[in-house]
Structure formats: structure tokens, C-alpha cells
Chain A
């Protein structure tokens, strides 16, 4: 049980009558400090794990996170996320010639400009290049530019059909 040692030390001090200082329980104190360190480290790994997940979200959802997710994050995490976004953007801009290269597209080397996708669930309207939109209904198949579909494929709404 954590904190028991710390409790014991505090109780000892409390039991001692006023004005008297009991012997400095070095051992006890060291143990408590060690416990504190262990707890701190565990918290660290938990926080680190959350950070890794937030980073993955950037790759999955793009630079704007849905509101639901934002509620789950603390203020510091939001700040960290914004920093990460900025560094990623700077890096991407520094790649390619003008404007940079969006590396969050094309997670696997692409084989063609357009891909055939099948809609797994009803999604609704989805905008395409020239401003018009496509209605994504369950089991309809579409042949669309690859980069438009990547996000939805990753979210599981569209399925890449290999023929």
C-alpha cells in the first residue's frame, strides 16, 4: 500500500509531544521518497502513452480534431498537440520544392492516381474536386482520386476494392 510509510512518519511526528523533535527517521524518509519516485514514473509512462496516441490522431484525423476528442484532452496536451502540428507542418514544407509535401497522405506507396472504393456504411455527402459531391451510401462503389479517399478509408467508412 502506498503512502503507508509516509502516514507512519506523519503519525510519529504527531504523537511526539510539542517542542520535542523525534530522531530523524532517515530510513523511513528514504523509503517514502522512493515510493514517490515510483509513482511519479508510473504517471510519466501513462502520460507518455497518451502523447503517443495523440500523435497518432494527428495522422489519422488531420490537423483539426473532432470536438469529442478535444474534451478528453487536458490543456497541456492541447498545447503539446499544437506544437507537434506546427513542427510537422514545418517539416513537410521543408521537403519537396514549392509548398512542400503532405506526407500524411499515401501511407503506403500508391499504385495509381485513382482507386476503387466501396462504401461500408451510410456516410452522406462527400465533396469532390470540382465542388460537386458524391452521396456515399452503403454498398455503392466509387472510383475517385486516391488522395480524397485516404482519410475515409482509414476511418473505415470506405473500403479499397482490389480487382
Chain B
């Protein structure tokens, strides 16, 4: 069921209990977790935090801990599957699920006792009505009992029997119609995966309702929202609306900066609204590097070609930036050049066909030296979380990434920024090589690209978020590189090697790239059906159903099944 009053039905219920938090491995979940942790620490709620990166881990961790807790909170996992079926909990276990994955499984919606969904009802949920899906089984049993009823007279009995038979066939037909309609409704409802409001924003809202919100929590909410935007999980419209909501909070917390007399000391944290360039990490890098490694600009300039490089030079000349300056670290650029940089770049970008060079976002300042845009933090945290690990368990990087979000761990954040730069560079290099060697081929209903084992830096893309980001950027760049109009509208399926010993690959499905994309992804269901149909050995372990693991040997039959399914 959907929780209507978050404070009464969720927070006050868990306030005096010990709770177990399951947190998925994405930046939005991390931010929501930090906000919730801060609230719990304020109120001395004893909790245990367990990071989970997939369904198997969730199940294992649940089995280990279920004796010790009655209240479980799941962040960014669990809404889109039948939770009770998967976890098989005891009768008195209660689950609070704060998840952006949609569509919410109907069992979770209509369970009144054990599953409480921390999801706002104004998200476009479109849940089917109860009667369309669930039906009392008793109705049919009554009538089968009537058959054995004995009438008084034979003739009366016969007519009654006839009537009953007719009634029964009608009933059966109706039932079959109802079932087929139910199948259709469920199919439509569950066909496309998409994402709702950021969990970090939901948690911040809870904090605000209890008047316990702080600037730090607001920043985490901002980072959570920006993560959804960076990973193309929400539409542009939703992003703008949510930015508006957060902007009001930002002015409420940070208005003292504008007042000259009462302004805060420089060392205090300050968040401000920015209408800034969408170049990734540009203030911590050189402008040139940032232009080359941001997907938006790299795709539109077509920087994998020589012609593209020339266009970039023309662009820089148009803005009026000397090449030498642009290749320096941004902080060392001439102050005179940095003055109206954003406006100048936007103007020239417009001339070169890039209308959205600037986006609405937020930045945070600690003292004079440390300034970060929300997207900087998102990239840094994502790289920390997905950095390849020595011992193989996902939890070390999760902990590192969690730490980097704290204000006192700026060194970890800077480390994350360096990792992010490496990741972005590797992404662009792989994209350039894929496009130059024509590795993206059309399979009919979709495009297909397969990364080989020996590709440099391939180990950086073994985790789902990095691989999805790479695939999305590849698709965007491909759309700009191809002249084939039909190919521009196709979705992309990407495979990358996961584990050499086990011979597995990760398969990612990306929806087609259109301007007004609603970001709905049908690959989750498509992958399931294709795997079933061909008995391929797949592992649907990730919370995002459009990312799966597959045995390399089953790759070709899986793809064939997918082709026939989607044609």
C-alpha cells in the first residue's frame, strides 16, 4: 500500500525500533541513505545498513538478518517485483520501500499489511484497478455446488439443470474474458520500465515535513536528482520541475548569502542555484578536456573524426579562447577569459547547433577553494562506486562512495573526480573506436554493439551504471554519425565482457534516442522472454531489469530470439 502520511505511518513507526536498511548501489540511493541516516542519528534510531547490488545479494542478506529485525527499509530496490514472493518473510515483518523503479508491482500496491510504499501518489503511476486484476475465487465454487442440488420434480429439475448449465457456461466465458483482459492490462502496465521521483528527494521531503532538514540534506537531495538526470532516468520536463522544487528549498536555506551585512562566514557550506554549462567536470579539468569528453559536445562535434576536431577548433576560435588557455587547467585560465565564459560559450554553441549548452543546476561551496557542481559530485561518486575492486565484493566501493558524500571527506571526493576523468576519457575512446570501426550494426529492430575482451579499459565498464552510461552515449553519438534515417530511431543492445573465468557478458538495452523521449524502456520484459524462449543461461540480477548477465556461448541464440521478438 502507498503510505499517505510519511511521518506518522513511517517515521514514527520505526522511531523506537531497530531497523535494517537495504541500499541499492546507485548514487540516488546513496544520497537517500545519507539523509535517512542523518535523521536516524538525530533521533537515536538504531539501524543496520547493508549495501546490496542485486536481487541475489538482497535475498542472502535478508536471510541472514531476518531473525533479528522486524522492520526493513529498502532504498531503490524492491518496488518492481513481488517482494513477499521473493523474500518469503515472516508474518510480522514490515517493509518500507522507497524506490524509483516503476512500474510498481501490483502485489506490492495492494498488500495492506506488510508492504508500505514510500512513493508519492502524484508520480504518474497508472496502477490498474484492484478488480481488474484480483478476483475472489469463492464465486465460482458456489455454483459448482449447485449442480448436486436435487429438485422436487424431474421436469422442474431438468429445466433448472438446463438453466444452471447455461448460467455456468456464461460464467465460464465471462471468466475467460476477464482473465484475458487481465493479461492485457498487466502486460501494458508492466511492459515499460521507467523511473519516478528521486528517492533522495522523497527522503528530503520527509525531513522537511518534520522540520529537521539541513543544508547538507538538501545537497544530497540535489545530488540524487542530478544523478537521475545524468543517467537519463527522467524526462527533461520532470527534471526542470524537480529543480524548481529544490530551488525553493535552496533559497530558504541559503538566503543569507545575498544579504551583505548578515552573510555567513566563507567557510560555511553554501548551496546556490546555477545556470551553468553542461560540460562534465569542467571546473576541475581543462576546458578542452571537458569539451572533448562530455557526450553532448563530443557527439555533436563528431569528435571521433578529423573533421570534428577541426570544428572544435573553429568553435573555440568563435568563442574567442586561445588554444593554449583552453588546454590549461580551468582554474589557471586567465580571469578575463573566465568572466563571461558561460554566456560566450552559449552564444557560440547556438551557432553550432547546440541549443542546450547550459542547464539549471546547483553548486556547493566550502570555503574559497572547494566548489562543486552537482554533476561533478554525481560523476565522482559514480566512479568511486563502480571502480573495479581487488577482492570482488561490491561493498568496499559502496562504503567509499558513501564516505565521499560527507563534507569531512573531501579528499575522497577529489579522488573520485580523478577516477571520473579516467572513466569519461575511456568512454569517449571506446565510442570513437566503435564508430570508426563500424562496430555498431543494425540487426533489424535494434542496433547491436559488442565490446571485445581486449578493449582497453574494458574493466571499467563491468558494472551496470557505467556500462549503461557508455551505451547511452554511444547511441547518442551514433545517431549523429549515421546518415541512415531509420537507424536513428532504433534502440541499442550492447554487450560487454563481465567475467572471463565464467564466460559471462553483461547485456544492456537502451531505448531509442528521440528528443521527446519518455525514457521508457521495454528491454526488461524483452530480455526475459528471449531468455525463456531459448533456454539461455541468464541472470537477471540487477534491480534495473534492462541489464542482465548472459553466458557468452548463448549470445547468438539469445540475440536471434530478441530479433524475432521485436520485429
Binding site for B on A (CB under 8 A): 113-114, 116, 118, 125, 128, 132-135, 137-145, 161-163
Contact = CB atoms under 8 A, between A and B. Distances in A.
Interface stretch (B40-48, B126-134, B298-306): B40-48
Contact of A114 (B46, B64, B393, B399): B46
Given A125-B68, A142-B47, A145-B46, 19 more contacts: A114-B44, A134-B18, A134-B48, A135-B48, A135-B64, A135-B65, A137-B50, A137-B64, A138-B393, A139-B51, A139-B399, A140-B48, A140-B50, A142-B48, A143-B37, A143-B41, A144-B46, A161-B403, A163-B37
Interface residues of chain A: helix, strand, loop or mixed (majority): strand
Nearest to B65: A135
Contact of B395 (A132, A133, A138): A138
15 contacts: A132-B68, A134-B48, A135-B48, A138-B395, A139-B398, A140-B48, A140-B49, A140-B51, A140-B395, A143-B47, A143-B48, A145-B46, A161-B403, A163-B37, A163-B408
A97 B6 CA distance: 44
B406 interface: yes
Contacts of A116: 37, 41
B234 to A, nearest CB: 29
Contacts of B18: 128, 132, 134
B346 interface: no
Contact of B46 (A125, A128, A138, A139): A128
Nearest to B64: A135
Contacts of A163: 37-38, 41, 406, 408
Contacts of B395: 138-140
Contacts of B50: 137, 140
A142 B18 CA distance: 10
Interface residues of B, number: 25
A114 B48 contact: no
* Smallest CB-CB A-B distances: 4 pairs: A139-B395, A141-B49, A142-B48, A143-B47
Interface in B24-58: 37-38, 40-41, 44-51
Interface centre among B41, B47, B48, by most A CB within 10 Å?
A: B48
Nearest to B216: A163
Interface in B42-87: 44-51, 64-65, 68-69
A135 B406 contact: no
B41 A114 contact: yes
